[in-house]
Structure 1
Amino acid sequence: MGPAQDAAGSGRLDLLDYLRFAAAMMVVLFHYLFWGIQFDRIDVTLTPLAEVVKYGYLGVDLFFLISGFVIMNSARGKAPSRFAVSRARRLLPAFWVAMLVTAAVIALFGDRVDLSVTPRQVLVNLTMVPTLLGQPAVDGVYWTLVHELLFYAGVFVLMVLRLGPRIPTLIPLWAIGMGVVLLVAPQLQAGPFLGNFYGYFAIGAILAEVRHTGRWNALQATGFLVGLGVVLRWAVVRGRAEGELDDTTFNEAILLGVVLLWVALVASMLIPRVAALRLPKARLAGALTYPLYLVHARMGYVAMSFLITDANKWIVYPLTVAAALGLAALVHKWEELPWWRQFFERTVGRPLSVLDPPIRTRKVSVPAEAKLVPPARRAPE
């Protein structure tokens, strides 16, 4: 969830940063105005806005779509160790500090909202994949990071296998494979890489490669259309499951419309005039997105538990959002400290450099006649 870069490597895509920030705010509003109330984390009643913001969970789908788009630029032409270092620097510093602060807040005040943490849980959460190691996440929003990391791990493995240059071909084939799984064995889609959210990664990556080359080919078009079918089907299936979990219903036409809107907005980056848009504070919006996502949920619930009532909620809500943004800015300052580069070069780059392909040196051919000329001798001084 790092700042979006132009897939062609020629500069930033400001609109992409805006989309990332909008997705984060959708998730914030979903948790504050709907989910947190439904699950007794926030002690106020639902408002009519809940019928709108309850669709905010689809902001995560936009995150995954954008991640697929930007990862192509992160991986293109890089050695596996360089790719791993760039992902570690982007994800880990912000996560570590946000998770530790969240854990501290829950340890001190979590009983106010029926939350708790254990030292073992905090230690395992440092890996970013605690649920894969049998421990609950310190904050429920971390579930998306597991999907992100698995996607990055898949790209990394392809690079280690010297298949990096073939990723633009493999991604559409992957999307088509997910479509086959959907048709013949839909129950397998619950597994990693076989469908569901992974369709967004594939679509985003295909769009990024088309932007890079400036043209579509038949395989990309097929992969894109099949991948689109996968995510549209997933939007309906997930909407039904989310409705049962949240004790509500979702209009399936709205779900499909939102997903199509997300794809259209990211696809608009293929239009040079859209990609060239320069929007105010885009860099800041992109920088705050990931930290805001990490800090807003459980710390927000705890903070609001001290003040919020039905009488003052429209004062407390903006204050809580502002506090979350302020904390996100501090987390961003932390993750931008220059010594993180050296830290990850030593802890990630050096160990993984053994997996990098050998550097090929070009041999300079010397004309045969030149070899017959004896080297000039230095004149005695």
Structure 2
Amino acid sequence: MPQASPRRLVALDGLRLVAAVAVAVYHYTTFWHLDGEHVPVYFLPQAAKVTVYGFLGVELFFMISGFAICMSSWGRGLGDFVASRASRLYPAYWVCIVLTVTVTAIFPIRGYLPLYTDHTLADIAVNFTMLQEPMGVPGVESVYWTLWSELRFYLLFAVFVVVPGITYRRTVIFCAAWMVAAALAPAIDNEVFTMLTVRHYAPYFVAGITMYLMRRFGTTPLLWAMLGLTWPVSLYSLGERVRLDPGWKVALWPAVLIVTVCYGVLLLIALGRTDRLSWRWLTVAGALTFPFYLLHQRIGYIVIRYGHEHTGLSVGVLIAGTVAVMLVPAWLVYRFVERPCGPRMRDALRRGAEAVRAAAPRPAAQAPAPGVVPRRRDLALAELRAWAELREPVAPKR
């Protein structure tokens, strides 16, 4: 199959930043005690009932992730896939842990969010592995729970798609099988199976993958059917996500509308309706998204608390200013950590993978015994296999 180099989709980068800012505004305007006594709705009685839906930025993140991971993995082997993902996540993640622990130790604030606990050195050390969630260790930031969902998606995609070789057919089968497994998880009622299938968020990842297949190979009735299946399943899971208790009843219908709009916007990107956008600042915005997401919560709380105590600014202005302020350390992490360290780590991991492949013993080729004729069944299977390869759809040239 001809492999075209993926084009940078600046609209996708901009959508990432929208998702990150939505999550940040949600955190700044719900649950925590902004002044040590009152939750933000005390200061923002109307706005907080709208910004509470910012938690849906996580669902948008997962859709974008399905799209982007499928796009960036095409034509790559397992070694490249692992090197790419690890070098993209870990350098910024490690530095953000250090920054968060340092800032919160220097500027401690109490009584702002009951979910947080004091972290021991052992807790912080486990956080560096990114496996604190399955190990039952509290995250340095509560937002780190989404990384565990991402890692499970990477694991499934690597094992069932990347290792055997990524193709259109294999990716479609993977998406269909994953959706079936996620739908059956409640009936099976097995904790390990539910965990592996990422039950609540599988529809979003699958939707993103499906939309990338539409972009690469064009729309087909099968892909439309798959995308149409993910939408109601995701809405069903959404019912559990809106069971929040910020002090008022959170209605379901705005969440349904927002998720539907997210589907529509990503679909427009997939179908090429935004390809004419060439604003370079959107690419930078997309690059800031990951460190901004990792840093925004606890440090942002500190900025808002100290701003509220020492300035006469309104709470709304403080929250908007904090979002802008948190983009500064995010840019510093991107510029001085991700950009220089990511490629070096990726190259080192690739060299390690190549060394492992070079050192692996190769089985000696066995020639067929003299006079042995292949069975008709083997020949038929070989012909079917060749026919299947010829039937792979070819990506249209753009």
TM > 0.5: yes
Read off the aligned partner of 2:132 and give its amino acid letter. Answer: P
Q: 1: CA distance between counterparts of 2:54 and 2:233? A: 20
SS at match of 1:136: coil
From 49, 53, 62, the counterpart of 1:55: 53
Give the aligned residue type for 1:195: R
Quote the residue 2:270 is aligned against: 270
Partner of 1:367: none
**Where does residue 209 of structure 1 map in the other structure?**
213
Structure 2, unmatched stretches of 5+, are 361-398
Distance 1:263 1:334, change over 3 A: same
The alignment status of 1:156 with 2:154, answered yes or no, reads: no
Aligned with residue 228 of structure 1, among 231, 249, 257: 231
Could you tell me how far apart the structure 2 residues matched to 1:106 and 1:150 are? 29
Cα distance between partner residues in 2 of 1:299 and 1:79:
38
Q: Is the CA contact (8 Å cut-off) linking 1:122 and 1:138 kept in structure 2? A: yes
Which has the higher mean CA deviation after the structures are superposed, 206-215 or 36-45?
A: 36-45
Instruction: Identify if the C-alpha distance between structure 1 residues 176 and 334 changes in structure 2 by more than 3 Å, giving closer, same or farther.
Output: same
Q: 1:198 deviation in Å? A: 1.5
Q: Using the TM superposition, give the Cα deviation of residue 195 of structure 1 relative to its aligned residue in structure 2, in angstroms.
A: 2.3
Mapped to 2, the partners of 1:179 and 1:88 lie a distance apart of: 26
Alpha-carbon distance between aligned partners in 2 of 1:280 and 1:338, rounded to the nearest angstrom: 20
| CA distance in 1 between partners of 2:34 and 2:341 (Å) | 43
Distance change in 2, residues 1:33/1:136 (3 Å) = same
Please name the residue that 2:195 is paired with. Answer: 191
- Is the alpha carbon distance of 1:9 and 1:161 closer, same or farther for their aligned partners in structure 2, counting shifts above 3 Å? closer
Contact 2:63 2:208 in 1 (8 A): yes
Residue aligning to 2:17: 21
CA distance in 1, matches of 2:119, 2:292: 21
**Which secondary structure state, in structure 2, belongs to the residue aligned with residue 281 of structure 1?**
helix
Which range is displaced more, 134-143 or 152-161? Answer: 152-161
Which residue matches 2:254? 254
Gaps of 5+ in 1: 1-6, 359-381
Aligned to 1:238: 241
Deviations 1:277-330 (A, max 9, x none): 223511111011111111110111123322315952344333322220101100
Work out the percentage of aligned pairs sharing the same amino acid.
28
Structure 1 residues 276 and 193: alpha-carbon distance in aligned structure 2, compared to 1, 3 A threshold: farther
Structure 2 counterpart SS, 1:296: helix
**Aligned with residue 75 of structure 1, among 73, 76, 80:** 73
SS of corresponding position for 1:196: coil
Of 160-169 and 85-94, more deviation after overlay is shown by 160-169
Shift of 1:187: 8.0
Q: Name the TM-score, length of structure 1 as normaliser.
A: 0.82
Q: Which amino acid aligns with 2:329?
A: L
Map of 1:104 onto structure 2: 102
Pairing partner for 2:134 from 107, 132, 135:
132
Is residue 199–residue 231 contact of structure 1 (8 Å, CA) maintained in 2?
yes
Is the 1:107–1:116 contact (alpha carbons within 8 Å) kept by the matching residues of 2? no
Change (3 A) 1:123 1:322: same
Tell me the distance in 2 between the aligned counterparts of 1:94 and 1:289. 11
CA RMSD of aligned residues (A): 2.9
Is the 2:6–2:72 Cα contact (8 Å) retained in structure 1?
no
1:65 corresponding residue in structure 2 = 63
Instruction: Tell me the matched-pair count.
Output: 347
**Under a length normalisation based on structure 2, what TM-score does the superposition of the two structures give?**
0.78
Distance 1:267 1:353 in 2: 41
Alpha-carbon distance in 2 for matches of 1:90, 1:41: 39
